[in-house]
């Protein structure tokens, strides 16, 4: 399928933002990808157009019942000037899994991947080239039928927007202080925690606002049924190095299956580290912190890659991890994954796809 392209004339292109002040998700590029769905017609009219507003009926399903999903990945420019995507097929697969859960019609994954590559190519001058910076890619689907009944929408828009983002660790790693919340939960088994769906993030805001007010960076989520087993940290997956074993909660239905999580597991196993995907209770972590067996703790996700945890606060007590410093394994994983992303390390696993 060929995409129709309506490109801006050169004279109307936006000035590029200062590469030292990109931040996250503030600036948007010149163009966007759009495709429509109508029942009976399927997905149709894929096109690249100037970045613009949507015009939607106020009764659109997305505004009322939140039938919306998204993805997040990045394009990286290496020293060789080539633009790389990191495991983008995993994002297109996950988009369809989220779509399935939210009763959104399935998409052709090859077409989604092609759309990602083409829109990045059209706006390739926006891929920043300083190490650590990247072009964040946000594919998303919203339900657009004007209808107030509760049933799946019969119309949708799939779109991709792009935002140049700064280095997450411009000043080096800064291990974060985590608040273990017992009051709120992110997702329950049988719910939509596995899906990258809009409402999960709205549901998480109160807990992180309260944690921030208390001086913490993020919250650690426990399971909804018992408030006992660890699930995720903020919007990242979580890992614990207990003695020499790397432990992460098993994908249980309420945890988002992170692509960075999968990459960490893959690399650690390849390096001969024992990896366990299993239920891990907060009590086990606290005991191992007290006995000195908790060597490291870190989050994983596309935005930060690896986010070292410096301390955990639970039931009125603070537990330091690795003296509040970044652990060796966290650093090694960060260096390896970013090395592959920027084309500085060998892509042994075939994780890279080029945009050209």
Closer to ligand PLP by Cβ: residue 127 or 259:
259
92 contributes a contact to ligand PLP by CB under 6 A? no
235 contributes a contact to ligand PLP by CB under 6 A? yes
Handedness of CA 188, 191, 196, 202 (dihedral sign): negative
Q: Please, is 56 exposed, middle or buried when counting C-beta atoms within 10 Å of its C-beta (0-12, 13-18, 19+)?
A: middle
Closer to ligand PLP by Cβ: residue 131 or 138:
138
232 contributes a contact to ligand PLP by CB under 6 A? yes
Q: Which residue stretch of 103-111, 154-162, 259-267, 330-338 sits at the interface with ligand PLP (rule: CB under 6 A)?
A: 259-267
153 contributes a contact to ligand PLP by CB under 6 A? no
237 contributes a contact to ligand PLP by CB under 6 A? yes
In angstroms, the Cα distances linking 182 to 193, 204, 228, 261 are: 17, 13, 9, 24
Q: Which residue stretch of 21-29, 36-44, 175-183, 294-302 sits at the interface with ligand PLP (rule: CB under 6 A)?
A: 294-302
Which DSSP state fits 20?
A: G
139 contributes a contact to ligand PLP by CB under 6 A? no
Residue 110 and residue 295: Cα distance in Å, rounded? 42
Closer to ligand PLP by Cβ: residue 39 or 201:
201
Strand partners, 275: 246
**Three-state DSSP class for 43?**
strand
260 contributes a contact to ligand PLP by CB under 6 A? yes
Return the beta strands (E) in 182-293 as ranges: 218-222, 230-233, 237-242, 245-248, 274-277
Report in angstroms how near the CB of residue 74 gets to ligand PLP at its nearest.
Answer: 9
At 274, phi and psi to the nearest 5?
Answer: -75, 125
Tokens 């960075």 locate to 260
Q: Which residue stretch of 95-103, 240-248, 295-303, 341-349 sits at the interface with ligand PLP (rule: CB under 6 A)?
A: 295-303
Q: Which of 27, 261, 288, 295 binds ligand PLP (CB under 6 A)?
A: 261
Burial 146-162 (b: 16+ CB within 10 A, else e): ebeeeeebebbbbbbbb
Burial 213-235 (b: 16+ CB within 10 A, else e): eeebbbbbbbbbeeeebbbbbbb
Q: Which residue stretch of 32-40, 97-105, 254-262, 325-333 sits at the interface with ligand PLP (rule: CB under 6 A)?
A: 254-262
207 contributes a contact to ligand PLP by CB under 6 A? no
For ligand PLP (CB under 6 A), the number of binding residues is 14
Contact 200, 335 (CB under 8 A): no
Q: Which of 107, 236, 294, 337 binds ligand PLP (CB under 6 A)?
A: 236
Report in angstroms how near the CB of residue 233 gets to ligand PLP at its nearest.
Answer: 8
Q: Which of 112, 256, 280, 337 binds ligand PLP (CB under 6 A)?
A: 256
Q: Which of 105, 128, 175, 301 binds ligand PLP (CB under 6 A)?
A: 301
Give me the residues that bind ligand PLP (CB under 6 A), please.
Answer: 72, 196, 232, 235-237, 256, 258-261, 300-302
């Amino acid at each position: 399928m060929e995409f129709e392209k309506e490109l801006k004339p050169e004279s109307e292109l936006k000035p590029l933002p200062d590469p030292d002040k990109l931040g996250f998700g503030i600036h948007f590029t010149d163009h966007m990808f759009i495709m429509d769905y109508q029942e009976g017609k399927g997905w149709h009219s894929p096109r690249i157009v100037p970045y613009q507003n949507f015009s939607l009926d106020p009764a659109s399903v997305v505004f009322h019942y939140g039938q919306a999903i998204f993805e997040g990945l990045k394009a990286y420019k290496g020293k060789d000037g080539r633009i790389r995507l990191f495991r983008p097929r995993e994002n297109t697969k996950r988009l369809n899994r989220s779509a399935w859960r939210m009763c959104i019609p399935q998409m052709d994954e090859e077409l989604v991947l092609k759309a990602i590559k083409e829109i990045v190519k059209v706006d390739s001058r926006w891929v920043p080239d300083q190490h650590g910076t990247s072009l964040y890619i946000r594919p998303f689907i919203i339900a657009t039928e004007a209808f107030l009944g509760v049933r799946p929408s019969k119309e949708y828009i799939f779109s991709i927007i792009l935002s140049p983002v700064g280095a997450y660790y411009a000043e080096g790693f800064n291990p974060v202080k985590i608040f273990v919340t017992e009051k709120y939960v992110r997702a329950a088994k049988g719910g939509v925690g596995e899906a990258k769906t809009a409402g999960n993030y709205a549901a998480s805001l109160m807990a992180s606002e309260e944690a921030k007010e208390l001086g913490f960076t993020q919250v650690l989520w426990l399971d909804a049924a018992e408030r006992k087993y660890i699930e995720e940290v903020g919007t990242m997956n979580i890992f614990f190095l207990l003695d020499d074993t790397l432990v992460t909660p098993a994908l249980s239905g309420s945890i988002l299956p992170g692509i960075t999580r999968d990459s960490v597991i893959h690399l650690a196993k390849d390096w001969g580290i024992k990896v366990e995907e299993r239920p891990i209770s907060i009590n086990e972590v606290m005991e191992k912190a007290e006995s000195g067996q908790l060597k490291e703790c870190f989050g994983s996700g596309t935005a930060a890659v690896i986010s070292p945890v410096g301390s955990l606060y639970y039931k009125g007590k603070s537990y330091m991890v690795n003296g509040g410093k970044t652990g060796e394994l966290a650093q090694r994983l960060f260096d390896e994954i970013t090395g592959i992303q920027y084309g500085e390390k060998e892509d042994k696993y075939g994780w890279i796809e080029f945009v050209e």
